[in-house]
Chain A
């Protein structure tokens, strides 16, 4: 059984509602969830089940209508926009399905992006970026532009960008959704390595059961509620 110190993210009674025209949409309703440190959690469910909404709430790019979200003991649901940005920069790495790299920047420069906000020396930045790119196996692609990389390599760069500020939590929205099987397996293997060796906590949204199998836990969401959990 997990103690409260082992829990990195704790959601209690989290509801998210928004208006779409005249209709009130509730993608998440009274959700309770604990994510222990070092967990690799996959969230599955049909489209519109609320998994991406939950991911957005956990990563602090959206805020719940009600309920609490604690990260490492600190409630983040009511943080003002600017503080939330600072919190994200320190604690969360976000991996997008379509990588979202800046096309005019090299792999190095893309990974460097989160560090530009820090008052660190250029040398320190370079060391951290090179370490992150080495970790994802792209030490030899440092000066390549996204157009010169394969989809799998682009996603590795995106993972390095998520890792470079050394956040405790990595959230991944369909990280293998745009990749072929081989590249997808390599990315999932990389995420497992990050959990195992770098002690990162990963929350991943996926439609792909094979991808979900790489996780330590699988949660199913349906109509904004947790349906079942599998190990």
Chain B
């Protein structure tokens, strides 16, 4: 059967679905609910994977105090910066003060990153100021460059002030970063945050270290920890993602469990489509026999049934996956632990994957009904 013939059958399949409107709508709603769940779970998994799976381009190390509970409880002398800089393979070091409103696992984490104002462009060259200006931020001591997601979630605009974690700042600009987690933080001046969080100017919570190349990451991390092993404040150095994977272990286990929810949603979709198409086929045995009498070969009748399953899957997939993407875009969900923030984003690849999956599930679920539609002799079906 040619593609042209197959395409000729698509409107016929769609009209057959329209014929049982209520059943079709209920089935599409059910598939939509399943695919909504699936897409949310996939988005969460993707957020975790993006924040924890290291890749060859990762050259950023984070130096914390050993045995710290949370970034904000890590206390390191600021003079470590000069010592770290001397270690071969280190390209850039920046002292950072982290202040968070909640160190436990939470869906509402506010993170301030205090960085030396003149070094932000070299620390994070990828960020783009999309409202306000970097100059304004450099000019005002209590200025904050707020991540896009953070700003949208709280409805913040340049010129406005807000207070969180005992720190009151003025929004100097809104920034956009290709790294989703950076869109959920507010960059402030390091001295300002040190004072506002009553740390004092001699301490920071961490150093972020850029290494010359990925091959040197492990060696540099070991060298840093060895350098301060006998100091008053020993360090623990790891790639940023490894820290998150370690500190957010419970979250990762939890999101791992949600895979089962996703699988359950997929099975529910499969059952829904199979049930709907089977019911339709059973009420149309004679009609399919009429088509066969008109000369429709078994594959054409079978394809007609498969197309109905695929259309149901596609409609439900659009509703569910599209709905999930819309929900994520509107709700701007973030979650995190120990000051590390994860953004669950509406990702077009999940939309495409969800649609393809729904289409495939529709076809798979309609296989048995398609066989039912053609298995009987025509004369027998005409008599039914």
Instruction: Point out residues on A near B: beta carbons under 8 Å.
Output: 56, 59, 61-62, 81-82, 85-86, 88-90, 92, 94, 96, 100, 102-105, 109, 113-114, 116-119, 161, 165
Contact = CB atoms under 8 A, between A and B. Distances in A.
A169 to B, nearest CB: 13
A89 B294 contact: yes
A117 B379 contact: no
Contact of A114 (B2, B19, B294, B377): B294
Contacts of A61: 292-293, 378-379, 382
A117 B296 contact: yes
B286 interface: yes
B293 to A, nearest CB: 5
B295 A104 contact: no
B17 to A, nearest CB: 9
A62 B382 CA distance: 11
Given A61-B378, A62-B378, A100-B287, A165 B295 contact: yes
Nearest to B4: A119
B52 to A, nearest CB: 52
B16 interface: yes
B291 interface: yes
Contacts of B293: 59, 61, 88, 94
A161 B291 CA distance: 11
Contacts of B9: 116
B290 interface: yes
B294 A104 contact: no
A82 B297 contact: yes
B12 interface: yes
A98 to B, nearest CB: 9
A129 B86 CA distance: 86
B252 interface: no
B300 interface: yes
Interface in B332-375: none
Given A88-B294, A96-B290, A119 B5 contact: yes
Given A85-B296, A88-B295, A116 B379 contact: no
Given A85-B296, A100-B290, A109-B12, 12 more contacts: A56-B379, A85-B297, A86-B295, A88-B293, A89-B294, A89-B295, A89-B296, A102-B15, A114-B295, A116-B5, A116-B9, A117-B297
Smallest CB-CB A-B distances: 4 pairs:
A89-B295, A85-B297, A116-B8, A104-B19
Contacts, number: 69
Contacts of B4: 119
Contacts of B300: 117
Contacts of B377: 62
A94 B300 CA distance: 18
A101 to B, nearest CB: 9
Nearest to A121: B4
B379 A62 contact: yes
Say what secondary structure dominates the interface of chain B.
helix
Interface in B271-308: 286-287, 290-300
Interface residues of B, number: 27
A144 to B, nearest CB: 15
Contacts of A116: 5, 8-9, 12
A96 B286 CA distance: 12
Interface in B1-33: 2, 4-5, 8-9, 12, 15-16, 18-19
Nearest to B377: A62
B18 A104 contact: yes
Contact of A117 (B5, B19, B298, B382): B5
Nearest to A56: B379
A59 B297 CA distance: 15
Contacts of A113: 12, 291, 294
Contacts of A118: 5
Nearest to B14: A104
A103 B290 CA distance: 13
Give the residue among B5, B293, B297 with the most A Cβ atoms within 10 A: B293
Nearest to A90: B295
Nearest to A161: B294
B285 to A, nearest CB: 12
Contacts of A119: 2, 4-5
6 contacts: A62-B377, A62-B379, A85-B292, A89-B294, A103-B19, A117-B5
Contacts of A104: 15-16, 18-19
A114 B379 CA distance: 19
A141 B4 CA distance: 28
B137 to A, nearest CB: 62
Interface string B163-181: 0000000000000000000
A67 to B, nearest CB: 17
Contacts of A90: 295
A130 B12 CA distance: 19
Interface in B130-145: none
Contacts of B286: 100
Contacts of B299: 82
Contacts of A105: 12, 15
